[in-house]
């Protein structure tokens, strides 16, 4: 019997890439690969890339440069680039980095076994098509190995919104939803393997249409699965947050009171330039409706500062919206142009102005985040414990509101969901007692 080959995957970016990396590893298991945590031990290295962050492609090339000595020491080592940078720049990657053996886009990774076999015969392999066949159907059943208590589950990919700053429609394609019966089958399988919380993933997950009742209908069906205790979803677009989904937050006990709802800017002028197709007031009225349905819900968001044409008055509008909403968490970014997107051709805001605005916004978000954490002190929350902490006898988990909570205790196992009284608030976590 031949020795198993070792596969190392480095994952960049969002939770969807984490899910994709798991599925890629499973696809290559049939070729005799087992996972390794060390690139130096690997027979194959995959970089699963993200095109959202600044200078994403250059970071990939830098990583490939660091891998060159491994390739020189082990000529049979296969190196592949997957994900959104692969989709956007596949041919360029092949031309610029001869050490790369295969490139595969995010819609084609079910073909990895064929590409690996081609690379094994000494031929370069490139696949960045948008195939007609459903990759999830082609991937087949997942292995029955035991899992941790939380898992990601992709239900929707792509986006039809064409925001002026975003490459997703070009790298992930148009919106496609998985059939509800396939999602439910995979969810039941995950629960049988020890998962107690599932986060549904999509570039625009609340546009999911694989169930006759949309994402709300899927959530209600998932809530009927015995052993599944928690449901979350991300990432949402305000324009697809419909009445049924708001009602689900009020009525489905297993749907957690945490919602990531990006807005990007508080200025109507900038929102129009971004092609967001909603106003700041639309967003604020939506937040009011959601909080009426679920008063304790914790909100997070995304913000871009320094979008082309953003003025001091526009930025002040963003600060005003943040003050009005009161976020428990938010992600803030300086605008960086993406080739091929409409905003890339516009006059850019000066970098020092972007830096100053980012610092101002982060300070405000930081104050709100700390206030939300401090408000938890004295409350009792239910914590899903996921792993041991850094200190002996410590366990760490997540509350319903996605706060990290650590307790000093014995007898608590991974996967336990227990009531915890919060006794103190730290910089990025809460301390509690069983």
Sequence ranges of the binding site: 14, 50, 84, 159, 163, 166
Separation in Å, CA 353 to CA 8, 132, 345: 40, 45, 19
CB-based contacts of 156: which residues, under 8 Å, 6+ apart?
Answer: 175, 176, 177, 178, 201, 202, 203, 204, 205, 207, 208, 210
Give exposure, 166-195, as e/b (b: 16+ Cβ within 10 Å).
bbbbbbbbebbbbebeebbebbbebbeebb
CB-based contacts of 356: which residues, under 8 Å, 6+ apart?
Answer: none
**By CB neighbour count within 10 A (0-12 exposed, 13-18 middle, 19+ buried), where does 163 fall?**
buried
CB 382 within 8 A of CB 418: yes
Of 268, 278, 266, 276, residue with least CA distance to 364: 266
Residue 94's CB is within 10 A of a number of other CB atoms, namely 18
- Known binding-site residues for [4Fe-4S] cluster equal 14, 50, 84, 159, 163, 166
Give the Cα separation of 278 and 240 in Å (integer).
Answer: 11
Give the Cα separation of 220 and 175 in Å (integer).
Answer: 22
Give the Cα separation of 342 and 226 in Å (integer).
Answer: 47
Helix (H, G, I), strand (E, B) or coil at 427: coil
Question: What single-letter DSSP state applies at residue 264?
Answer: B
- CA 265 to chain CA centroid, Å, is 20
- CA 178 to chain CA centroid, Å, is 17
**By CB neighbour count within 10 A (0-12 exposed, 13-18 middle, 19+ buried), where does 80 fall?**
buried
**Which conformational region is residue 227 in: left (phi greater than 0), alpha (psi within -120 to 50 degrees), or beta?**
left
The residues pairing with 418 across neighbouring beta strands, listed in sequence order, are 383
Give the Cα separation of 169 and 158 in Å (integer).
Answer: 6
CB 163 within 8 A of CB 212: no
CB 192 within 8 A of CB 220: no
């Amino acid at each position: 019997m031949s020795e198993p080959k070792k596969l190392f995957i480095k994952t960049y970016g969002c939770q969807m890439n984490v899910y994709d990396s798991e599925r890629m590893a499973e696809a290559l298991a049939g070729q005799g690969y087992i996972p390794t945590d060390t690139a130096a031990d690997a027979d194959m290295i995959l970089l699963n890339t993200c095109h959202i962050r600044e200078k994403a492609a250059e970071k990939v090339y830098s990583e490939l440069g660091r891998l060159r000595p491994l390739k020189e020491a082990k000529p049979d080592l296969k190196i592949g680039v997957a994900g959104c940078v692969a989709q956007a720049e596949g041919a360029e990657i092949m031309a610029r980095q001869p050490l790369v053996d295969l490139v595969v886009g995010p819609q084609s990774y079910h073909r990895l076994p064929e590409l690996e076999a081609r690379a094994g015969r000494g031929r370069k392999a490139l696949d960045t098509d948008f195939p007609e066949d459903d990759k999830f159907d082609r991937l087949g059943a997942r292995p029955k190995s035991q899992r941790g208590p939380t898992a990601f589950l992709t239900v929707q990919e792509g986006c039809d919104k064409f925001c002026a700053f975003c490459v997703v429609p070009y790298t992930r394609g148009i919106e496609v939803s998985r059939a509800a019966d396939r999602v439910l089958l995979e969810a039941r399988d995950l629960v049988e393997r020890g998962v107690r919380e599932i986060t549904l993933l999509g570039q625009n997950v609340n546009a999911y249409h694989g169930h006759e009742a949309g994402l709300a209908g899927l959530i209600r069906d998932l809530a009927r699965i015995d052993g599944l205790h928690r449901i979350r979803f991300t990432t949402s677009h305000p324009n697809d947050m419909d009445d049924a989904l708001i009602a689900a937050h009020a009525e489905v006990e297993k749907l957690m009171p945490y919602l990531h709802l990006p807005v990007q800017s508080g200025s109507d002028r900038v929102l129009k330039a971004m092609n967001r197709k909603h106003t700041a007031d639309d967003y604020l009225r939506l937040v009011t409706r959601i909080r009426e349905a679920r008063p304790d819900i914790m909100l997070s968001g995304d913000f871009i500062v320094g979008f082309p044409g953003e003025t001091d008055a526009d930025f002040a509008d963003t600060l005003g919206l943040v003050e009005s909403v009161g976020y428990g968490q938010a992600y803030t970014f300086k605008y960086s142009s993406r080739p091929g997107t409409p905003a890339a051709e516009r006059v850019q805001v000066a970098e020092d102005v972007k830096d100053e605005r980012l610092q101002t916004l982060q300070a405000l978000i930081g104050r709100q985040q700390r206030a939300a954490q401090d408000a938890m002190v004295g409350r009792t929350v239910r914590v899903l414990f996921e792993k041991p902490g850094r200190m002996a006898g410590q366990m760490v988990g997540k509350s319903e509101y996605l706060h990290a909570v650590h307790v000093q205790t014995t007898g608590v196992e991974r996967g336990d969901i227990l009531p915890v009284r919060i006794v103190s608030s730290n910089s990025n976590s809460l301390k509690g007692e069983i």
